[in-house]
Amino acid sequence: MTSPTDPPTQTRAATGPSGVSGPGESNSEGSKSGAIVLARHGEPALSRRLKLDARGYDRWWATYEAGGILTGQVPPQELIDHALRADVIFASIRLRAIETARAVAGGKAVREDPMFIEAPLPAPATPRFVKLSPKTWGVVSRFLWWFGYHRGQETRRQAQARARTAAERLIVEAEAGRNVLVLAHGFFNGMVGVELSRRGWRCVQDRGFKYWATRRFERE
């Protein structure tokens, strides 16, 4: 698993027409905190319509982690609007998040950061005859991971610490008056959202956790 702290943040300009204000520029209200928007990536180009044993699911998850998004998708206009208003755009280093950023950033620079990768989903050891869909394996694996099963990967406590660090990083940007957009992953975005709430940020718009969905936070 890629360490969320070792590789340096990379900044790239997303392909597409040039946007308006760039990263690091304050919004026009200056002293007012910017908003923080957490967005999930687009639909990945990997079928969930199959049954797998535990080891097969591990291989499926590795492919999911390495792959991009399904071609032909049209991002929601609301997400594009969030990107247009953003002064700073972060993306996970996973390809599905990077391709999502390219689809919505309008040529703005995107900071690719391992801080925002998804929490791991190690499947439990089970007999080979136990075959489940990737969605069901995900639910089972997430439940067990939450209660301590990690097979040597990032633990729940470690992921929570990473979420706290991520939230603090986003707050620094927003409290400087910048609007922030994060293009990352459903579960880890949820963990970051919890940490933002604990620090006095209120979710004022919640589109859930489906592909392309957004949650907008503002300082209370």
Task: Answer whether residue 8 shows pLDDT above 80.
Answer: no
Task: Answer whether residue 58 shows pLDDT above 70.
Answer: yes
Higher-confidence residue of 149 and 21: namely: 149
Which pLDDT band holds residue 20 (cuts at 50, 70, 90)?
very low
Average predicted confidence (pLDDT) for the chain: 90
φ/ψ of 159, rounded to 5, equals -65, -40
What are the tens digits of pLDDT across the range 96-116? 999 999 999 999 999 999 999
φ/ψ of 88, rounded to 5, equals -135, 130
The reported pLDDT for the residue numbered 220 is 86
C-alpha to C-alpha distance for 138 and 152, rounded to whole angstroms: 18
Cβ burial, residue 69 (10 Å; 0-12/13-18/19+): buried
Of all residues in the chain, what percent carry a pLDDT higher than 90?
85
Q: Is 201 helix (H, G, I), strand (E, B) or coil?
A: strand
Task: Answer whether residue 167 shows pLDDT above 90.
Answer: yes
Q: Is 109 helix (H, G, I), strand (E, B) or coil?
A: strand
Query: Model's pTM, two decimal places?
Result: 0.87
Query: Measured between alpha carbons, how far apart are the two ends of the chain, in Å?
Result: 36
Asked if CATH classification 3.40.50 holds for the domain at 10-219, the reply, yes or no, is yes
Edge-to-edge order in the sheet of strand 109-112: 10-13, 109-112, 88-91, 180-184, 36-40, 214-219, 201-206
The reported pLDDT for the residue numbered 11 is 66
The reported pLDDT for the residue numbered 1 is 41
Which pLDDT band holds residue 14 (cuts at 50, 70, 90)?
low
What are the tens digits of pLDDT across the range 64-99? 999 999 999 999 999 999 999 999 999 999 999 999
Domain boundaries, the chain: 10-219
Average pLDDT over residues 183-187: 98
What are the tens digits of pLDDT across the range 33-50? 999 999 999 999 999 999
